[in-house]
Amino acid sequence: MVKIEETSPTSVFFSDMTGSSFPIVVSHGEGRAEFANQGDLHSVTEQGLVPMRYVDNYGAVTERYPFNPNGSPAGIAGVRSKDGRVVAMMPHPERTIMGSVGSWIKDELKGNQYGPWFRMFLNARKWVG
């Protein structure tokens, strides 16, 4: 599961998703975030360039497997550019856009054609115009 921590109003992908936690497909343990030194990690975090982090069942950011499948520091599941137009992530939201493929869904959302990750793609489409 990941939590969206995006705070930038310029984000192409994560508008209106801040604070949300969603299950997401993770097909492998690749995609580990690595930094040359702690200063780089601190800089990326301080600039708000970490829009999503792996969280455990209690919503706490984690570096532990299986919640964080690759052990990325600070639970980093994705990073973005300063202008919000580019995001690099290991999880696969494109594999979870349909409502019927989620591992769990609230009762009141059952029957919806799309799952919560579809919002990310709607946001990108909205930005394109």
Pick the residue with more confidence: 115 or 29?
A: 115
The residues spanned by each domain of the chain are: 2-128
Distance in angstroms (rounded) separating the CA atoms of residues 107 and 128:
33
Choices 3.40.50.880, 3.30.1490.190, 3.30.230.10, 3.20.20.80: CATH for 2-128: 3.40.50.880
* Residue pLDDT, tens place only, 112-123: 889 889 999 999
Q: 88 is written with which tokens? A: 């690099």
| Neighbouring C-beta atoms of residue 111, cutoff 10 Å | 9
* Residue pLDDT, tens place only, 71-124: 999 999 999 999 999 999 989 999 888 888 877 777 887 788 898 899 999 999
* Position 61 pLDDT exceeds 90: yes
